[in-house]
Amino acid sequence: MGRGATGPGRRVWSGIWRIADPKITLASAASMFLGGAAAAHTGRIAWGWLGLAAAGVFLLEAAKNASGELFDFDSGVDQAVTEEDRSPFSGGKRVLVDGLLTRRQTAAVAAAFYAGGIAAGLAVVLLREPRVLGFGLAGVALAFFYHAPPVRLSYRGLGELAVAVAYGPLICCGTYLVQRGQVPTWVVLLSLPLGLLVAAFLWVNEFPDFRADAAGGKRTLVVRLGRRQASRVFGAMILAAYAGMALLPAAGLPAAVWLGGAGLPLALAAAARLRASPETNARVVPAQAWTLASFVLASLGAGLGLVLAGGGTG
């Protein structure tokens, strides 16, 4: 009796944990780390405001996952993902498909996370930096309309661009703005390679979902291009991101940002694996993991380089 009574509660908490998905929040963490490291390069860090901003970003991330579950379920995309196409990095959170949460519970979780993220953002706006409001509004809009009609960015081949913007300039520069009250050009330039690398992570994650996305009308760029052509574009994205990072010292950043090149070997390995087997999902999974590790290492390396260099950037 006791076990049965706690069963539904356990399912709910398992569903919430799956929606929060620590693996995927690494993208937000990487961008915030880079923005925070850029701020540390120019002065002291206000840790309390950094923590509150981070809480807001992570809550919106979870809210996006929860609301996305509803819209991807309604389109039939999640149900179309077969067992052989599932991977630890793609296929949705599947809390509805696997019966962990009901539609009502999923909607309530989404609303709670959106409310928490918006509240954290408004606190920063009202008590710290009013200009963060624009960043926050853009973040909420991108999070919700990534899946939701009438915009449905991910269904119209615009999801990849949205991710590049959100996890590059939006979060990184927003983090810097909270600390310094301005966003110099060099911070924007610093954020661009990371945004492209996180978009590459989304890109590789769309390969196992190819059949389900196509069946559900989710016209991602991988669906539009086909997996073989898309595998070539993935390689170009990786090269463009690390080339951009290599050029950052020309914009006045310290050469220590080249420590972000630590992620390049894994990115190249992912590109080679994807190019060789774009239609074999079991072989794509390692490329997904390597791409994730690549953007994390790029952020850690470039950020630590900025902190170690010290002295500020004009």
Q: What domains are defined for the chain?
A: 2-309 (1.10.600)
* C-alpha distance from residue 15 to each of 8, 66, 214 (Å): 11, 10, 26
The one-character DSSP state at 259 is G
Q: In the prediction, which pLDDT does 48 show?
A: 98
Q: What is the pLDDT of residues 91-134, one digit of tens each?
A: 888 999 999 999 999 999 999 999 999 999 999 999 999 999 99
| Mean pLDDT across 35-62 | 97
Q: What is the pLDDT of residues 53-77, one digit of tens each?
A: 999 999 999 999 999 999 999 999 9
Q: In the prediction, which pLDDT does 314 show?
A: 56
- For residues 72-93, one letter each, b for 16 or more C-beta atoms within 10 angstroms of the residue's C-beta and e for the rest, the string is bbebebbbbbeeebbbebbbbb
Q: In the prediction, which pLDDT does 21 show?
A: 81
CB atoms within 10 A of CB 209: 26
Q: What is the pLDDT of residues 275-285, one digit of tens each?
A: 999 999 999 99
Backbone angles phi, psi at 91, to 5 degrees: 90, 5
Averaged pLDDT score across all residues of the chain: 94
Closest CA to 48 of 132, 139, 120: 120
Distance of alpha carbon 40 from its chain centroid, rounded? 23
Strand partners, 87: 90
* C-alpha distance from residue 18 to each of 71, 83, 94, 155, 291 (Å): 17, 18, 8, 23, 21
Q: In the prediction, which pLDDT does 3 show?
A: 40
Top pLDDT among 5 and 258 is at 258
| Mean pLDDT across 236-256 | 97
pLDDT at 250 over 60: yes
pTM score: 0.94
